[in-house]
Amino acid sequence: MEPAEPAEPAEPEAAEEVLRSRSWSRSRSRDLLLLAGICLLTLLLVNAFVARPFSVPSASMENSLRSGDRLIANKLAYAFGDHPERGDVVVFDGTGSFRRGPAEPTGFGDALRAFAQDLGLAPAGDSVYVKRVIGVGGDRVTSTGPGGRITVNGVPIDESSYLAPGDEPSNVAFDVVVPAGKLFVMGDHRSASRDSRDHLGEPGGGFVPEGRVIGRADWVVYPIGHWAGGLDRPSAFAAAGGTGGHGDQR
């Protein structure tokens, strides 16, 4: 048996082609990883500073918002010296006002969880609420109970454009002056909403600090049948404009 002839060395051109192919594959993988990292970082920054998605947890804002709706909270709405205004629908952290507990994280675990929530990496939790602003700092908000309208600084507010059908403006009588830097908020489905009215006798009086507002609810994005171009400020509050507010108590 004749010995096998040694294999001829691969052509230099073929070897170079294999090396180029491997180099291109590694470069493409790095580019894809870099692109994924940029997309993730952009998403985190948007969630932290621009807009953040939330799920509506209850029926307290029907029919403006329904339980399970996904909305986008505009975090830039009050970022440059602007304040929440009467009629705005806001998403806020109710810790310390609607829920008992410290307003700030007390430990490393709480701080880490709050940071993850700010980035949208963790669920918002049961301390986050969505309500409509009825009074701002300096406003006097009153109700005579069933059959009467809510008044802001003596101006009756026509809430028929957003109140849930069949609901009274309030079944509870109250007369409060909103402290500077705080908000008096209520749900649109008044008979199914626990809001500032339910915390009047508690520490803090049910007033929400402006600093606890996460953003203004501007868009409903899911389900498709509930899409809305914006949760506009009702014209009903225009009549109360210039009657105090944001610390100007009258």
Question: How does DSSP assign 218-238, residue by residue?
Answer: EEEEESGGG-BS--PPPGGGG
Q: 């500073």: which residue's tokens? A: 49
Whether 182 is a known active-site residue: answer: no
Distances (CA, A) of 246 to 43, 168, 181: 34, 27, 7
Question: CB 126: neighbour CB atoms within 10 A?
Answer: 9
Q: Which of 64, 75, 131, 170 is catalytic?
A: 131
**Residue 173: φ, ψ to 5°:** -85, 140
Amino acid at 112: L
Q: Which of 60, 64, 97, 196 is catalytic?
A: 60
List the structure tokens of 122: 């963790």
Question: pLDDT category, 249, cuts 50, 70, 90?
Answer: very low
Q: SS3 of 124, please?
A: coil
Write the pLDDT tens digit of every residue in 193-219.
Answer: 999 999 888 878 889 999 999 999 988
List the structure tokens of 47: 């969630």
CB within 8 Å of 66: residues ≥ 6 apart: 56, 59, 226
Write the pLDDT tens digit of every residue in 96-123.
Answer: 888 876 555 556 565 565 555 555 444 5
Question: How does DSSP assign 49-76, residue by residue?
Answer: HTEEEEE--SSTTTTTS-TT-EEEEETT
Q: Reply yes or no: is the peptide bond before residue 146 cis, omega within 30 of 0.
A: no
List the structure tokens of 211: 């600093």
Percentage, residues of the chain above pLDDT 90:
41
Poorest-pLDDT segment among 20-29, 62-71, 134-143, 160-169: 20-29
Range 36-65 average pLDDT: 76
pLDDT number for residue 51: 77
Write the pLDDT tens digit of every residue in 132-165.
Answer: 999 999 999 999 999 999 999 999 999 999 999 9
CA nearest 156: which of 142, 171, 136, 167?
Answer: 142
Number of DSSP helices (H) and strands (E) in the chain, helices first: 2, 11
- Tell me the average pLDDT of the chain: 81
CA distance 195 to 98: 8
| Dihedral in degrees, nearest 10, Cα atoms 101, 102, 103, 105 | -120
CA nearest 88: which of 102, 100, 73?
Answer: 73
pLDDT number for residue 210: 96
Range 17-21 average pLDDT: 66
Dihedral over Cα of 72, 73, 75, 76: its sign: positive
